[in-house]
Structure 1
Amino acid sequence: MNIGDKVRLLRAKEQGVVSRFLPGNMIEIEIEDGFRIPVMRSELVLVSPLEAERLLRTSTFAPQKPAAPQSPAILSNQGIYLAFIPVNDREYTLHLINNTDWEFPYLIGEESAGAGGGIQFIGLQSGVLKPKSQQKMNDHYVHAKFDEWPTFVVQGLWFRAGKSSLRQPLIKRFKARASTLFKAKVTVPVLNQPGFQTQLDAESAEPAQPVPASNRNAQPRPTTIRPEELKAEMLKAKSETGGISVERPSAVVDLHTEALLPKGTGNRTPADLLKLQLDTFEKALENAIASGMSDITFIHGVGSGALRTELHKRLGQHPNVKFFEDAQKQKFGYGATKVTIK
């Protein structure tokens, strides 16, 4: 018996899906309406393939909910969402939704800081989402532990039978931020249930400036530099200012130590070098905000992931960062982050 298997109770009418194994030879199953109940292993039996197919069609756990067949004149090319549906006032279920007219082979997982400062990836699920369908993940996410929620990673391809244009694979990372994710409850497409969502495949009108679906925001923190005040000072007449000027940074800032220290690192320790990189990042970001730039890209490299993790942590807490994402892979590989400024 494995997670995801369809089971029924020996002495009751309930049937559901295995969601978790508990201590004491107990198994947690998810029954109708998303309720989870603990049951002794000896009280459960696997359903037959015919029963499993019937349960898959009728249970609320069914991952695929295709809409009625349609032949729209205009194809829907966008509409991949991560949605958080409230189970009660404490927990949410996570759903991956395909509201497009394309089939969407996908992989979804969680990314978090691992031992030694590296990045740890945990795969959650993979499969193929049919057009206008959704997939529910097994785990619940607790509101009280929101600060501990991981970065969600979604990778996907696009497929339509017959002639169609070749589309680039979708690779998105989403770090939830309470100030934006929970700003407004909406009716989630396909599910038609109230919840909170973020779109992963949104694109801007300008191809070179893709807009990410995720708003990687977190609770604001106080900052010693106030870009709004600097910007206001810059807009004053010259007679009102005391000659205040802010150096506008380059649109792309290279944080590699060889770029910051072309003559060599000398006797600097790894801690000294990391501090130099972070100080350069902070100064460039604040100057970009103060000088009215709309976005800035930081090249941090891949390495152990420590610098990238720290940058993303600070960006997620910055009140003047609208969102951030991996920069163009064709140009920077996986070692750069593009920041869009409010």
Structure 2
Amino acid sequence: MNIGDKVRLLRAKGEGIVSRFLPGNMIEIEIEDGFRIPVMRSELVAVSPMEAEKLLRPSTFEPQKPTAPAAPSILANQGIYLAFVAVNDREYSLYLVNNTDWDFPYSLGEESAAPTGGVQFRGVFAGMLKARAQQKMNDLYTHATFETWPTFVVQGLWFRAGKSTLRAPLVKRVKARATTFFKNKTTVPVLNQPGFVTQLDAEGTEPTQPSAPSSNRPRPNTIRPDELKAEMLKPKNDPDTLSVDRPSSVVDLHTEALLPKGTGNRGPADLLKLQLETFEKALENAVASGMSEITFIHGVGSGALRTELHKRLGQHPHVRFFEDAQKQKFGYGATKVSLK
């Protein structure tokens, strides 16, 4: 131990520098603030040069800065799919896939033509599909019977524990069409297998909440959980309850049928636009609900409406053919459309 060495006290907290040697085996050390004290040599231990260097080196630690709170995670609000996965070269399995961050209570059913006419509904499956999950429905669909596959009806709610935005229920009908079905082969989300996929919640945006004062808003109906579960599991024997968008088999496009209270200030161009919009909506709903044919009454008139309808029907991918309908009843004022 030499003058200038750094030493540490054994029986007390403290360190110092050897300043001089005293009689009686005593050593004088200089501690903080320049004070010098005598200490028995046996009460000191030398600090190694490496340790001393670290002790003498100014601290490089900085006070820890408060971190900003993490940004709220972004929720995946869309991603409900129907997927058909090939079991072999003849059969398909049907899956319902939830690739969102919401739990999805659902029911799945099938609409098909009833033997006595009209449409019949058959419940297939109901349950709760957790976030980022999938559920196999059945293996009943074969390639050979593709043209007779039913219209699939999916009804669902959105649930997240705690505070969240109220979302409108999902009701979607899907009719497999050869012209589009086999073009949608991709990797099925969550399931991670190749399959033919249709997204059920792709279009539209969530409805906004009313901005009126709460005192002016209608009070929501109270829904009991047991009643909601019973309603979802109850067989749906009345096809009309699920076919609200299914058009009539005969759609009258006359302006007096579309505007029973009068045309108002609408000009010929506005009336033609209304007739064509009604025609397009009825045709798409007929395709989506699995109808095999639909008739449009357009009248004779100048022939402009009939010409435009025939032009659009000739370009529509889901139209098998069209022809003048029941000449003895409508003359040349109606067109019957056969759908694929």
TM-score between both structures, scaled by the size of structure 2: 0.44
What TM-score results when the alignment is normalised by the length of structure 1? 0.44
